[in-house]
Structure 1
């Protein structure tokens, strides 16, 4: 009997709040270490020297991921969040407005404070992110211009966490989506891309969602072909004992946009 097709990121079963609570909730000791603490540690190392900074940052990440902005808000004055999932947009706005039932990110803010050598101040850090986020914009990567009819200025930096493999159906659409992401950046701007290498699915409750499988070499070639010069790369091997996600490595790329494509 044929296996049931995996669900898509934009399907109605996608639960953005539950995604965060399942993988990086305060009580998820093992997965939180790999999927929250490791990326935040690496991002802190990337940004703390001060070489990657600017006025405007665009964020395009899976679900309601905002933890990376707890660090990035110290290096960029304004943050514009892009998101293609209506469910995710609603959850992001709930957090921004501090509505009841919003995703709890206090443990991420506390961890960032520890990275910075501070014993307190996590509430102020969350408020700084809320002030820095000036817009949450719906995007649609099936369009030639994903932001149409909205216009946003090209940014100095772009952070994307797990988005491309979740939203791309095949290698061709990945390349197309990466090119469209590049158009959001100024020449000379930096892309910080967090990825799952050799992943095929993730689960939320009983629902299995597809992720695009690709390896390190594919990602490097895609970045070069899209006009980026890769400045640094790192990866961390999956040590989780779980059946809810099957990635081989968590990885990241820091790349500078050298040309328009």
Structure 2
């Protein structure tokens, strides 16, 4: 199939529930676990517990309705604001926040975060803290100079973007353009955390193939440097989960800070 015929995440219909069930559920038939859950959780937990990334405002710009990465972050920020481009992703996320019937079950993720060591009351407090953080779920428009227009957000201490730049960028120029917009959301010295897949051209949700940007580690390092970021931590893990649903070669985790 010609990559030009693939669907675009933020333009075409995207079934956020099928995406969660295919890639992030506790179903043994899901696409992956090590690369899409365990690797990110291990690196996010290590990064936040080191204590260098914390503050008042965390902005999250991530693919679909994922939220598991915020378990690692919620103890280190006073306010977490989740930005979404699709109403369907907001509604799916709100089902879990509001504890409605039929909400996606994230309980398996708490085990990967090590929360099985907590007693029942401590566990409920942690889940409640994440739910409280996710009360701030806001729609944004990527094509506006201020993607939150007419809302003006305070400069953030940290931006997390998980697999989001991969799926909204049609080419490398697009990637750099969006990265520049996200960078402007940060205060001087603020941090950015990137999660992505290297060497990808498509991913599948249901019966539909969606575009993903094909890039390598060298490209993303240069893109961050071009926006004034200094990389503090970078880990690349070669693909271990084999599936025809997505054609990535590796997953990458980067934590960087913006020069003052």
Same fold (TM over 0.5): yes
Scaled to the shorter chain, the TM-score interval is over 0.9
Answer yes or no: is the 8 Å Cα contact 1:58–1:155 preserved in 2: yes
Q: CA deviation at 1:133?
A: 3.0
Instruction: Report the Cα distance in structure 2 between the residues aligned to 1:246 and 1:198, rounded to whole angstroms.
Output: 8
Answer yes or no: is the 8 Å Cα contact 2:81–2:138 preserved in 1: yes
Instruction: Report the Cα distance in structure 1 between the residues aligned to 2:201 and 2:111, rounded to whole angstroms.
Output: 32
Q: CA deviation at 1:113?
A: 2.9
Instruction: Report the Cα distance in structure 2 between the residues aligned to 1:69 and 1:180, rounded to whole angstroms.
Output: 22
1:49 is aligned to 2:68: no
Match of 2:20 in 1: 20
Match of 2:128 in 1: 127
Q: Secondary structure at the match of 1:21?
A: helix
Instruction: Report the Cα distance in structure 1 between the residues aligned to 2:182 and 2:52, rounded to whole angstroms.
Output: 21
Q: What is the number of residues matched between the two proteins?
A: 258
1:37 is aligned to 2:38: yes
Instruction: Report the Cα distance in structure 1 between the residues aligned to 2:222 and 2:177, rounded to whole angstroms.
Output: 13
Give the RMSD, CA atoms, in angstroms: 1.9
Q: CA deviation at 1:227?
A: 1.4
Instruction: Report the Cα distance in structure 1 between the residues aligned to 2:169 and 2:140, rounded to whole angstroms.
Output: 14
Deviates more, 1:24-33 or 1:178-187: 24-33
Per-residue Cα deviation, 1:76-120 (whole angstroms, up to 9, x for no partner): 121000111221111112221111222111111232134x85465
TM-score (norm 1): 0.93
Answer yes or no: is the 8 Å Cα contact 1:57–1:156 preserved in 2: yes
Answer yes or no: is the 8 Å Cα contact 2:7–2:210 preserved in 1: yes
Structure 1 residue runs of 5 or longer lacking an equivalent are none
Per-residue Cα deviation, 1:159-198 (whole angstroms, up to 9, x for no partner): 1110001111111111010000011111111111111111
- Report 1:192-203 matches (<5 A): 192-203=193-204
Answer yes or no: is the 8 Å Cα contact 1:113–1:122 preserved in 2: no
Answer yes or no: is the 8 Å Cα contact 1:191–1:255 preserved in 2: yes
Answer yes or no: is the 8 Å Cα contact 1:7–1:210 preserved in 2: yes
Instruction: Report the Cα distance in structure 2 between the residues aligned to 1:17 and 1:256, rounded to whole angstroms.
Output: 33
Q: Secondary structure at the match of 2:79?
A: strand
Answer yes or no: is the 8 Å Cα contact 1:47–1:72 preserved in 2: yes
Match of 2:229 in 1: 228
Per-residue Cα deviation, 1:34-73 (whole angstroms, up to 9, x for no partner): 2111100111111111111111111110001100001100
